[in-house]
């Protein structure tokens, strides 16, 4: 990065931005390669190195620009890359494809058909990103920089108009104007409860005290949700800009970003972003010469789910054990070090510059009356196109799962979708046409949470799902209050019994009364919402519980004591693969003749079931 002297005034920032834009050659060929966790797992960094060294070898390094970008959300098909100005989008790129990509596409601008996306229905090759159904229905506002800018280059962000919202706030708006704009936009917290952000900011501004804090929650503990990781890795400056604006509005001079320890790239990129913003004078003393001071520190979490809860997070920031506090005193009045603190999720912060730049009225046009704007969901599980999608609030589940997500894998039938992480609930297939917004989700017994959307098919056992979440929460309960600590333990025992075939008819009523008690008596939201997965599965899938308890059958083939594998003789071609791989020698049969499974020897490890190409191994 060229060293830039401190930017001392808003007009200097604008001059710098203009210079960056003018330097750009719109006809220059650029290849943008996603380099965040998902695509890195597929070898994206090797691809970048190979492309760079090959270009250098051919003397093309100045003619073709290689950019390492954030996530486009299409993780299922990673590593992905986009080539401009031709607008060519490649999927599942491997290092061995690099020579051809360079000789054909980067030198001549010709697309390689093999690497284009194939529509699973029509089998047609699609060249442009926007024409792929996965992207077509999305409205990418918060994600607009993901996949375009290099998150480690502040100039990329500035060239796209970054820090323009900050300039506007510092030069033309009073703190109360900012709060009113956020209130008018209808922005609600993206991390869980959906509390109106503007109201939170106002309470914090009005709370007595000279020292106040802003905090970004990047703890993203909900299993199945990874949009915050993607934002922190792919567009860290938008989070910083949102936080600086928030700090100005509430009157804070110090901020913290609390990031999960499991996200090393997010920590790295946020660190680089803070350093760069600091050297530009966008953080620190006298920001843009306006006299406003603000600093941000990164604090890494240490692997405790409960630290996503606001008061537990604040305890953790203070260097203590992450146990929640009783909430009769609000954190906006007495939070971190007992001072007024505004805590928002990183996605919420990233929405702030948008609202300031384009206005509250523009923002509120998207979404529904009570849930404005867009929301990023991680659509994962048994869906075909897994990944991150940004959609307007109020879109239906069907559009997300079938139009964008491409439906269920292997053409199996859709059973349910789980939203809201361990505090959320399961929504059955019959509600597929419901709108997705804060209030509608609550009405059906689920919640928005941070936006995890886990799609389940006929092979998912709903009792097992409930047991999974309760097991998760049992280990993550901090143990401070009895209802949560003991309630979860008992619930887990009852659910385990049901899954092992020892369930009794009274168990369902017992689970329900235990749930009611935990909701009423738990200290924090972890315990108070913990029964949701149990209650929602009982509500919609009571028949599955009854099948486990009465018939002792798990028809999804998950609970090991309650099903058996057997081989369909009509489908088996005797390839012997399952026989060779079976660790217990439970598969019998000769080559090219139908095999059988010795039920007594079978440990139901699932190897034969996942290996069989003929789908001859079936669950009974």
Partner 1 sequence: MGFERVDEILDRYGHRHEALISMLQDVQRLENYLPQETLQYIGKRLEVPLSRIYYITTFYKSFSLEPRGKHIVKVCLGTACHLNGALQNLEQIRRALDIREGETTGDKMFSLETVNCVGTCALAPVTVVGDKYYDAVTPAKVEKIISNYSGKAEDAAGEED
- What are the tokens at 555? 């028809």
602 interacts with partner 1 by CB under 8 A: no
Q: Examine residue 32 and say whether the peptide bond preceding it is cis (omega within 30 degrees of 0).
A: no
Residues 6+ apart with CB under 8 A from 442: none
* From candidates 313, 456, 491, 559, binder to partner 1 by CB under 8 A: 456
Query: 524: burial class by Cβ within 10 Å (0-12, 13-18, 19+)?
Result: buried
For partner 1, the closer of residues 185 and 477 by Cβ is 477
452 interacts with partner 1 by CB under 8 A: yes
379, 398 contact by CB (below 8 A): no
CB of 492 to partner 1, least distance (A): 15
CB of 409 to partner 1, least distance (A): 10
CB of 159 to partner 1, least distance (A): 28
**Roughly what angle, to the nearest 10 degrees, separates helices 532-546 and 462-476?**
150
3-state helix/strand/coil string of 341-362 = EEEEEHHHHHHHHHHHHHCHHH
152 interacts with partner 1 by CB under 8 A: no
For partner 1, the closer of residues 245 and 587 by Cβ is 587
- What are the tokens at 177? 């104007």
129, 89 contact by CB (below 8 A): yes
* From candidates 150, 156, 235, 476, binder to partner 1 by CB under 8 A: 476
Task: Tell me how far the alpha carbon of residue 117 is from its chain's centroid.
Answer: 23
* From candidates 303, 361, 516, 601, binder to partner 1 by CB under 8 A: 303
Q: Which stretch binds partner 1 (CB under 8 A): 53-61, 158-166, 462-470, 536-544?
A: 462-470
For partner 1, the closer of residues 136 and 606 by Cβ is 606
Report the site for partner 1 in 238-267 (rule: CB under 8 A). Answer: 260-264
DSSP string, 25-42: -TTSEEEEEE-SHHHHHT
Strand order in the sheet with 452-457: 387-392, 374-381, 452-457, 414-419, 425-428
Report the site for partner 1 in 94-123 (rule: CB under 8 A). Answer: 94-96
For partner 1, the closer of residues 252 and 317 by Cβ is 317
Q: What is the DSSP code (8-state) at residue 393? A: T
387 interacts with partner 1 by CB under 8 A: yes
Report the site for partner 1 in 419-438 (rule: CB under 8 A). Answer: 421
Q: What is the DSSP code (8-state) at residue 293? A: E
For partner 1, the closer of residues 282 and 454 by Cβ is 454
601 interacts with partner 1 by CB under 8 A: no
- Nearest partner of 560 among 473, 496, 478, judged by Cα: 496
Residues 6+ apart with CB under 8 A from 364: 184, 185, 186, 372, 373
For partner 1, the closer of residues 222 and 544 by Cβ is 222
* From candidates 322, 406, 487, 527, binder to partner 1 by CB under 8 A: 322
Report the site for partner 1 in 23-52 (rule: CB under 8 A). Answer: 37-38, 40-43
**Roughly what angle, to the nearest 10 degrees, separates helices 10-23 and 164-172?**
160
* From candidates 575, 605, 618, 619, binder to partner 1 by CB under 8 A: 605
CB of 54 to partner 1, least distance (A): 17
- What are the tokens at 535? 């209650």
In whole angstroms, how far apart are CA 241 and each of 157, 278, 496?
11, 12, 47
CB of 378 to partner 1, least distance (A): 6
Report the site for partner 1 in 556-585 (rule: CB under 8 A). Answer: 581, 583
* From candidates 1, 19, 56, 302, binder to partner 1 by CB under 8 A: 302
Q: Which stretch binds partner 1 (CB under 8 A): 241-249, 381-389, 435-443, 490-498?
A: 381-389
For partner 1, the closer of residues 187 and 481 by Cβ is 481
435-438's contacts with Cβ under 8 Å and 24+ in sequence apart are 435/368, 435/394, 435/395, 435/396, 436/375, 436/377, 436/391, 436/393, 436/394, 436/395, 436/396, 436/397, 436/400, 437/367, 437/368, 437/370, 437/371, 437/393, 437/394, 438/188, 438/194, 438/370, 438/371, 438/393
For partner 1, the closer of residues 273 and 336 by Cβ is 336
Q: Which stretch binds partner 1 (CB under 8 A): 132-140, 144-152, 314-322, 396-404?
A: 314-322
CB of 422 to partner 1, least distance (A): 8
Residues 6+ apart with CB under 8 A from 469: 422, 530, 533, 534
Instruction: Give the per-residue contact string, 262-301, with partner 1 (x = CB under 8 A; - = no).
Output: xxx----------------------------------xxx
Report the site for partner 1 in 48-87 (rule: CB under 8 A). Answer: 75-76, 78
**Total chain residues near partner 1 (CB under 8 A):** 65
Q: Which stretch binds partner 1 (CB under 8 A): 23-31, 288-296, 313-321, 434-442?
A: 313-321
The pair phi, psi for residue 442, each rounded to 5°, is: -60, -40
CB of 266 to partner 1, least distance (A): 9
CB of 607 to partner 1, least distance (A): 5
Report the site for partner 1 in 206-225 (rule: CB under 8 A). Answer: 220-225
CB of 525 to partner 1, least distance (A): 17
For partner 1, the closer of residues 209 and 606 by Cβ is 606
The pair phi, psi for residue 22, each rounded to 5°, is: -65, -30
For partner 1, the closer of residues 202 and 300 by Cβ is 300
379, 392 contact by CB (below 8 A): no
- Nearest partner of 282 among 237, 321, 233, 329, judged by Cα: 237
* Rounded Cα gap, residues 238 and 227, in angstroms: 14
Nearest 5°: the CA angle 140, 144, 150 is 150
Q: Which stretch binds partner 1 (CB under 8 A): 7-15, 48-56, 351-359, 385-393?
A: 385-393
3-state helix/strand/coil string of 65-110 = EEEEECCCCCHHHCCCEEEECCCEEECCCCHHHHHHHHHHHHHHCC
CB of 131 to partner 1, least distance (A): 21
Using CB under 8 A, list all residues that contact partner 1.
37-38, 40-43, 75-76, 78, 94-96, 220-226, 229, 260-264, 299-305, 316-322, 378, 380-382, 386-388, 418, 421, 452, 454, 456, 460, 465, 468-469, 472, 476, 478, 581, 583, 605-607, 610-611
């Amino acid at each position: 990065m060229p060293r830039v002297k401190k930017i001392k005034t808003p007009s200097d920032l604008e001059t710098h931005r203009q210079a960056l834009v003018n330097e750009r050659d719109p006809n220059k060929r650029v290849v943008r390669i996603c380099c965040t966790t998902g695509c890195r797992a597929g070898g994206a960094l090797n691809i970048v190195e190979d492309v760079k060294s090959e270009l250098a070898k051919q003397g093309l390094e100045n003619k073709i620009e290689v950019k390492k970008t954030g996530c486009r959300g299409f993780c299922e098909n990673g590593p992905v890359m986009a080539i401009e100005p031709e607008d060519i989008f490649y999927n599942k790129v491997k290092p061995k494809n690099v020579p051809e990509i360079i000789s054909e596409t980067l030198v001549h601008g010709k697309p390689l058909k093999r690497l284009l996306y194939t529509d699973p229905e029509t089998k047609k090759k699609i060249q442009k990103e926007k024409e792929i159904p996965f992207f077509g229905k999305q409205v990418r506002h918060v994600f607009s920089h993901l996949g375009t800018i290099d998150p480690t280059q502040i100039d990329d962000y500035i060239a796209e108009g970054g820090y323009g919202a900050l300039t506007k706030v510092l030069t033309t708006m009073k703190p109360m104007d900012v709060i009113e704009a956020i209130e008018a936009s209808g922005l609600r917290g993206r991390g869980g409860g959906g509390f109106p952000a503007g109201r939170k900011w106002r309470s914090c501004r009005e709370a007595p005290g000279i020292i106040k804090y802003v905090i970004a929650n990047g703890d993203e503990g909900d299993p199945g949700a990874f949009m915050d990781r993607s934002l922190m890795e792919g567009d860290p400056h938008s989070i910083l800009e949102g936080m600086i604006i928030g700090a100005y509005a509430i009157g804070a001079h110090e901020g913290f970003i609390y990031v999960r320890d499991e996200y090393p790239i997010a920590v790295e990129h946020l660190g680089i972003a803070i350093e760069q913003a600091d050297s530009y004078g966008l953080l620190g003393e006298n920001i843009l010469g306006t006299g406003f001071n603000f600093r941000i520190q990164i604090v890494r979490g240490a692997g405790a789910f409960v630290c996503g809860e606001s008061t537990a997070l604040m305890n953790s920031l203070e260097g203590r054990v992450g146990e929640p506090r009783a909430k009769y005193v609000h954190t906006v009045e007495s939070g971190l070090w007992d001072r007024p603190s505004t805590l928002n999720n990183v996605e919420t912060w990233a929405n702030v510059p948008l609202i300031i730049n384009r206005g509250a009225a523009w923002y509120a046009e998207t979404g529904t009356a009570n849930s404005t704007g867009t929301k990023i969901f991680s659509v994962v599980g048994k869906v075909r196109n897994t990944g991150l999608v940004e959609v307007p609030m109020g879109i239906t589940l069907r559009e997300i799962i079938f139009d964008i997500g491409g439906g269920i894998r292997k053409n199996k039938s859709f059973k349910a979708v789980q939203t809201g992480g361990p505090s959320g609930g399961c929504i059955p297939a019959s509600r597929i046409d419901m709108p997705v917004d804060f209030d509608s989700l609550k009405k059906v017994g689920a919640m928005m949470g941070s936006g995890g959307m886990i799609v389940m098919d006929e092979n998912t056992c709903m009792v097992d799902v409930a047991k999974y979440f309760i097991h998760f929460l049992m280990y993550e309960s901090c143990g401070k209050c009895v209802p949560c600590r003991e309630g979860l333990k008992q619930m887990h025992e009852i659910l385990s019994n049901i899954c092992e075939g020892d369930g009794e008819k009274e168990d369902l009523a017992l689970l329900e009364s235990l749930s009611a008690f935990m909701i009423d008596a738990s200290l924090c939201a972890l315990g108070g919402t913990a029964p949701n997965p149990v209650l929602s599965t009982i509500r919609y899938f009571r028949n599955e519980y009854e099948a486990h308890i009465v018939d002792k059958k798990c028809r999804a083939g998950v609970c090991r004591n309650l099903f058996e594998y057997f081989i369909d003789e009509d489908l088996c071609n005797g390839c012997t693969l399952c026989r060779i791989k079976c660790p217990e020698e439970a598969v019998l049969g000769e080559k090219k003749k139908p095999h059988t499974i010795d039920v007594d020897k079978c440990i139901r490890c699932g190897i034969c079931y996942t290996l069989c190409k003929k789908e001859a191994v079936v669950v009974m």
